[in-house]
Amino acid sequence: MTVSVYFAAGRRLWPEYEAHLPEALREAGIDAEIRLNAPNPAAVDYIVFAPSGDITDFTPFVNCKAVLNLWAGVERIVGNKTLTQPLARMVDPGLTEGMVEYVVGHVLRHHLGMDAHILGQDGIWRNHILPPIARERPVAVLGLGELGRAAATALAALNFPVMGWSRSEKKVAGVDCHSGEAGLAHVLSRAEIIVLLLPLTPDTTSLINAERLALMPEGAFIVNPGRGALIDDAALLAALDAGRIGHATLDVFRTEPLPPDHPYWAHPRVTVTPHIAADTRAVTAARVIAENILRGEAGEPFLYLVDRARGY
């Protein structure tokens, strides 16, 4: 029987997926018809979704077996009351690789003090300022899920003493794992570089507030490729102005695109990257979608299902 897949992630993304999704479904042995619209919503078996796409009301898709999100973060869909179908988020090896590279790159930039040489070539030979080696620089990764674990493991492989923090207790080889409020205070008060890879939920909104920023070592660096609203912006700006926080590299913001007049753009201690830390890669994501459809058709549990109550 032909499976009906509605690609509702927006026409902008379609050319990329057109090159890979039909092939991935074929390779998985799935006979599928992919449509960019749904004239008969009741006939749709699976929805490939992105928040920038076409659907806000899932009610008419009465026979849809799963909504397959192209993004890792689900905060813009998880609260949609019309969505009663199972929701899977994206766990994509290509996305994970991209995130590991972003995190390692920006952590090393701060660790090695690269800016001093890249931005400060003034003819003065300052060979007395040497960065410590990685094993002397404690770093922390908040969020030990698919992305946080991979980033923490890569940093540990470079000899950084890595601490991690998550909701439930975790064991990650080479990472000193913590959880709970006391665990957060432990990690924040020791890490000189903090990487945020938490999902945005009611529990994590403004997690990095004035009180928690005050726990961090003087001059600590923050790298946030998680979600903008994990940080209380006013508190961060105050900590940056005071030099309490040495620098923040921010990829994600409460409002995106970040408005041109936002103080982050001009702040000397802030680096803005425009939500490019890690994109879902169509070539690898198409295989993940095919695998989940195969599971759905075989009556097996879907991979990467979102827990609506937890919000991620």
93 binds ligand NAP (CB under 6 A): no
Integer Cα distance of 72 and 53 in angstroms: 15
Number of residues that bind ligand NAP (CB under 6 A): 29
What one-letter code names the amino acid at 18?
Answer: E
From the list 6-14, 52-60, 118-126, 200-208, the region that binds ligand NAP by CB under 6 A is 200-208
For residue 68, which phi and psi values (nearest 5 degrees)?
-110, 105
Residues 107-146, one symbol each (x = binds ligand NAP by CB under 6 A, - = not), give ------------------------------------xxxx
> Alpha helix (H) ranges present in the chain?
14-18, 21-27, 93-112, 114-118, 146-157, 180-188, 210-213, 233-241, 263-266, 282-298
Among residues 35, 244, 275, 295, which is the contact residue for ligand NAP, using CB under 6 A? 275
Among residues 30, 66, 67, 278, which is the contact residue for ligand NAP, using CB under 6 A? 278
Residue nearer to ligand NAP on the CB measure, 38 or 225: 225
Residue nearer to ligand NAP on the CB measure, 241 or 256: 256
250 binds ligand NAP (CB under 6 A): no
What one-letter code names the amino acid at 125?
Answer: W
Within 10 angstroms of residue 94's Cβ, the number of other Cβ atoms is 17
Shortest spacing between CB 198 and ligand NAP, in angstroms: 5
Residues 143-182, one symbol each (x = binds ligand NAP by CB under 6 A, - = not), give xxxxxx-----------------xxx-x------------
What one-letter code names the amino acid at 154?
Answer: A
255 binds ligand NAP (CB under 6 A): no
Which residues lie closer than 8 Å to 308 by C-beta, 6 or more apart? 78, 87
Integer Cα distance of 176 and 191 in angstroms: 12
Which residues lie closer than 8 Å to 109 by C-beta, 6 or more apart? 115, 249
| Residue 227: active-site member | yes
Structure tokens at 68: 């397959």
252 binds ligand NAP (CB under 6 A): yes
| Residue 267: active-site member | no
Annotate 240-264 with b (16+ C-beta within 10 A) or e (fewer). beeebbbbbbbbbbeeeebeeebeb
Q: Which residue in the shown chain puts its C-beta closest to ligand NAP?
A: 145
Catalytic residue among 227, 247, 269, 281: 227
Integer Cα distance of 77 and 127 in angstroms: 52
Window 45 to 84, contacts with ligand NAP (CB under 6 A): 72-73
312 binds ligand NAP (CB under 6 A): yes
Catalytic residue among 267, 275, 295, 308: 275
> Which strands make up the sheet holding 32-35, listed edge to edge?
32-35, 3-8, 46-49, 66-69, 87-88
Shortest spacing between CB 4 and ligand NAP, in angstroms: 28
In the complex, which residues of this chain contact ligand NAP (CB under 6 A)? 72-73, 95, 143-148, 166-168, 170, 197-201, 203-204, 225-227, 251-252, 275, 277-278, 312
Catalytic residues: 227, 275
